A and B are shown apart, each in its own frame.
Chain A
């Protein structure tokens, strides 16, 4: 039973570019949340998707957007990249909006 799968594992982008990160949730999970984790810090909540809609959003600018597909997979898009966007981006899925979160291994984004 595959867990949460994220792609790519590593990515290097130039300041000002746009990036798309992908997440496939664990089988049986329909809710996907995205987190940003800067080096040496705990994860920060970006947003959560359920039934293809953004249900909740953390304190992140509109440059961060997302999408959830009918098969529950999700994308995180970041526009106009800044150096400060360099971080580990984590996707977590859950069987409902209550809990039971399973995390992927993350995508390491480096903005140069």
Chain B
């Protein structure tokens, strides 16, 4: 069962910041939030992950609320190549192993 809820689609103007929300209200204290994106049925590409603190890398920033029930992925200056399906994922510990639980994703369309 998916542990995340995302809007099915979003638009963003090229050059603006894209903010993708994700709800994970049932997340446990030791479960990480991961973000991947998938461009046109290629393999998913890792973006960023975090547990409690906000995280930033060369691709994006991840803002996690203090209660950890939701998070936001921020693409600071969206380009047309950022058009993709973005997945918010919870990594759970199950049967002595880690597993990624995927939601349905958000289709982000960057418009010129």
Contacts and interface: CB of A to CB of B under 8 A. Distances in A.
Interface in A29-84: 41-45, 48, 55-56, 58
Contact of B91 (A48, A99, A103): A99
Interface residues of B, number: 25
A90 interface: yes
Contacts of A45: 99-101
Given A41-B104, A42-B104, A42-B105, A97 B98 contact: yes
Nearest to B101: A45
Given A44-B102, A45-B100, A99 B44 contact: no
Contacts, number: 53
Given A43-B102, A101-B100, 10 more contacts: A4-B43, A42-B2, A44-B102, A45-B101, A48-B97, A55-B96, A58-B99, A88-B41, A101-B46, A104-B43
Interface of A: 4, 41-45, 48, 55-56, 58, 88, 90, 92, 97-106, 108
